[in-house]
Amino acid sequence: MLRHWACGACFDVTDAILHLVTVDFRWRGRSGFSVSVPDFAMNAGETVLLLGESGSGKSTLLSLICGTMLPDAGQVHIAGADLTTLSNGARDRFRAEQIGVIFQQFNLLPFGTVIDNILLPLRFAPERRKRAGDAKATAATLCTALGLPGEILGHRANTLSVGQQQRVAVARALIGQPPLIIADEPTSALDADSQAVFLDLLFQQTAANKASLLMVSHDPRLADRFDRVVRMEDIASVHRVAA
Amino acid sequence: MILRLAIASLFARALTVGMTILAIALSVALFLAVEKVRTGAKESFADTISGTDLIVGARSGSVQLLLYSVFRIGNATNNVSWESYQDIATRPDVEWIVPISLGDSHRQFRVMGTTRAFFDHYKYRQGRSLETADGVIMEDLFDTVIGADVAATLGYSVGDPIVVAHGLASFSEHKNQPFRISGILAKTGTPVDRTVIVSMEAIEAIHVDWRSGAQIPGQITPVDVIRQMELTPKAITAALVGVESPLQTFALQRAINEYRQEPLLAVLPGVALQELWGIVGVAETALLAVSAMVVVTALIGMMATIFSSLNERRREMAIFRAMGARPTTILGLLVLEAMLMAALGALLGLALLYAGLSVAQPMIDSAFGLWLPVTAPSLQELWVILAVVGAGAIVSMVPAVRAYRMSLADGMMVKT
C-alpha cells in the first residue's frame, strides 16, 4: 500500500477530503496556548492515524476540523468546502452532514435508546437523512454488521457494556454515509481483545461506506492497520507562552 | 425525537425533577385554591341576598345597615317606627315589604322577628328560596324556625322547646314565654343558617312585661292573656323591600332617604355588598399576592435545579454539539425541559386542586358556609397554567444562556 507523508504538494486539493492550510489558532484568555498547522491533508477514502501525546494539541485540531472552533488564520477545507467561510449555524449543519464523530467514551446519551442515539445526527442533517433512506432499517443493518444483537435497538444506552456503546457510536458515525469519520481514541476504554474486534469492525464498515477515517491515538501499536501514520509534532507546532 | 429525548432526560433525573415538579404543583394548587376561595367567597358573599331591591333601616352607614340586617353583624343604632314602615309599605311602587326585628338572642345565635312574607321573598344564590329540611314554617305565636347551623350546633330537632334571651350575650331570659321549634331550615350557606326566626308578634309578646330594656319587677303576664293582646309592633329594625318595577328602585330609594318624619336610609344590596367587598378586598388581594410569590419561589427553585444540573450534563451537551446541534438547540432544549417541568407541575397542581376540592368541599361548606363548586377548569385557570409555563420558560433562560455559553466554549470536547 502506498504511503504518503505529510506534504501539501503531493495532493490535488480537489481530491482531498480534508485539507488544512496555514491554520493558526490561539486560545483566548490567560493560557497563551496556540497551535499552527501549516499544511495537513487527507485523501478521500484514506485512513490516517494521528499520533500524539496529551497536550499536543490533538483536541484543538479536532475541534478545528469539526468546525466547533474557528482558526484565527488559514483555511479548513472539508469535502470541498472551506469551513472558515461558513456562518456558525452553517458550520454546525455542515458537521452534521459530512462528519461522523466517535469519542473516547461516553459517546451516547445515557437516557436515550440505542436507536435514538444512532438517529440523532440525522435530526440535524436533512441531506444525510435522505442518504440514510429508511433510517431505522439502516440503523438495524449497521448494528447487525457491527455484531450487535438486533433487540438492542430499543434498549437504553446506559444499559449497554462499554464495548457495545462504542459499537453503537460507530453505527451513529456511519449512518447516512458521511465522507469523513473522526475517532478520538475510541479504543482506550476497551481491553486488548475488544480493541482488536472493535478496530476490525470499524475498518470494515468505514471501507464499506468508502469513508475516510482520521483516528487520533497515543498508541503507535495500531499503526499497521492504517494507510498512513502522522505524528502530531510533524504537522503542527504548539506554542505555550508562560502566563 | 428531540422532545422524546428531553422527556427521557427528565426521566433519567426522576428524583430531582420529580421534586421540582411537586414544588411547582403545590404552589400552583395553592394559588388556584386561593383564587377559588376568593371567587367562591365573593360569590357566596354576593349570594347572601338576591331578589331584594332595597334594604331600609334607620339612618346610619350603608355597610353598617347591610351588616346588621343581612349578615347579623353589629347592631342597629336606631329603629324604624311602625308608622314609617306602614308609610313605605303602602306606597304604590312597593310590591312587597318584609319587616325585620333584631335584638334578642338564643345562645350564640341571633333571634330575628319577621313575617311569613320573609320566607316568600328572601332569596339567596340567584333566586333560591328558603326551604324547611324538617317540620314547617311557624304556625303558632310561640313557634320558631331555626337555621341549619343552629340545629346542628345545639342538637335541636323539631318539637324541642327553646328560651330566647333578652339582648345579646345576656343572662336575662324570656323564660316565661318558651318557644317550640316548628321547623328547621335547609342549609343555605347564608347568615340565615345561624338565625332563630320568630314572628314579629312573638317579639312583641315576649316583651310585654318589659319597658326600656328591663323587666318590670313582679309583672308576669300569663301566656293566655298575651295571646289575647293586640301585638302590633311599635318599631322594627329594618325592612327588605321589593319594587314593582326595577326602574322605580332609585326613585323609591330617594323618597325613603328624604322621608321627613324620620331619618331613614335605603340602600341597594348589590351596591352595599360591593362597598363591603371593597373593604375586605385588600386582604384578598394580599392573599393572592402571597400565593403568587409562592409560585415564583417554586419556579426559582426549578431554575436552581437546572443550574446545578448543568455541570454534570456538559458531556450530554457535547454529544449534541458533535452531532451537529447548534448552541441555540442546546438553549432550546433546556428551555423546553423547563417548560415541560412547569407544564407538568401546573397540570399536577390543577389535579391536586380538584382532588382536594372534591374531598374538602362538604367540609368547607359545613364549616364556613362557603360553597366551592367543582366545575371544569375556567379560562382563567388555563391562563394561570399558561402563565406558569411561560414564566418557567423565562426563568429557565438564565441557566439556558449559561449552557449556551458553555457549549459554545466546550464545543464537542469536554475537559474534565
Encoded amino acid at A191, one letter = D
Q: What is the pLDDT of residue B369?
A: 66
What's the first-to-final CA gap in chain A, in angstroms?
Answer: 46
Neighbours of B344 (CB within 10 A): 20
Encoded amino acid at B94, one letter = V
**Does any CB of chain B come closer than 8 Å to the CB of residue A189?**
no
- Across chain B, mean pLDDT equals 88
Decide the pairing of beta strands B235-236 and B80-81: antiparallel
Predicted confidence band at B251 (pLDDT cuts at 50, 70, 90)? very high
- Written as nine digits, the cell of A137 is 432499517
Per-residue model confidence as pLDDT tens digits over A208-227: 888 999 999 888 888 888 99
Predicted confidence band at A68 (pLDDT cuts at 50, 70, 90)? confident
Q: How far apart are CA B103 and CA B101, in angstroms?
A: 7
**Chain A positions in Cβ-Cβ contact with residue B325 (cut-off 8 Å):** 92, 96, 124
Res. B253: pLDDT tops 60: yes
Decide the pairing of beta strands A180-184 and A99-102: parallel
Q: Can you tell me the mean pLDDT for B165-184? A: 81
Higher pLDDT, B192 or A15: B192
Res. B372: pLDDT tops 90: no
Res. B54: pLDDT tops 90: yes
Res. A191: pLDDT tops 70: yes
Q: What is the pLDDT of residue A7?
A: 44
Res. B19: pLDDT tops 90: yes
- Written as nine digits, the cell of A9 is 504538494
Per-residue model confidence as pLDDT tens digits over A69-89: 889 999 999 988 898 899 988
Beta-bridged to residue A156, according to DSSP, are A113
CA of B14, closest CA in chain A: separation in Å?
11
- B275: Cβ contacts below 8 Å, ≥ 6 apart: B62, B63
Place of cell 303558632: B140
Q: How far apart are CA A129 and CA A121, in angstroms?
A: 9
Res. A243: pLDDT tops 70: no
Per-residue model confidence as pLDDT tens digits over A157-173: 989 988 889 889 999 99
- B159: Cβ contacts below 8 Å, ≥ 6 apart: B135, B180, B181
Contact (CB, 8 A) for A48 and A16 = no
Q: What is the pLDDT of residue A222?
A: 86
Res. B267: pLDDT tops 90: yes
Q: How far apart are CA A190 and CA A169, in angstroms?
A: 14
What's the first-to-final CA gap in chain B, in angstroms?
Answer: 29
Encoded amino acid at A100, one letter = G
3-class DSSP assignment, residue B170? coil
Question: Where are the extended beta strands (E) located within B82-194?
Answer: 94-106, 109-114, 123-124, 128-129, 132-135, 143-146, 161-162, 179-185
Query: Which domains, ranges and CATH numbers included, belong to chain A?
Result: 44-69+86-231 (3.40.50.300)
Asked if this assembly's ipTM is beyond 0.90, the reply is no
Per-residue model confidence as pLDDT tens digits over B318-368: 889 888 888 899 899 999 999 999 999 999 999 999 999 889 888 887 677
Neighbours of B283 (CB within 10 A): 10
**Positive or negative torsion for Cα B110, B116, B121, B126:** positive
**Chain B positions in Cβ-Cβ contact with residue A103 (cut-off 8 Å):** 319, 322, 412
Contact (CB, 8 A) for B195 and B119 = no
Res. B130: pLDDT tops 60: yes
| B9/A63 Cβ within 8 A | no
| A106/B324 Cβ within 8 A | no
The residue of chain A with its CA nearest to that of B9 is A111
Among B8, B326, B413, beta carbon nearest to A112: B8
- Written as nine digits, the cell of B48 is 347572601
**Does any CB of chain A come closer than 8 Å to the CB of residue B409?**
no
**Does any CB of chain A come closer than 8 Å to the CB of residue B15?**
no
Q: What is the pLDDT of residue A30?
A: 60
Predicted confidence band at A1 (pLDDT cuts at 50, 70, 90)? very low
Higher pLDDT, A156 or B281: A156
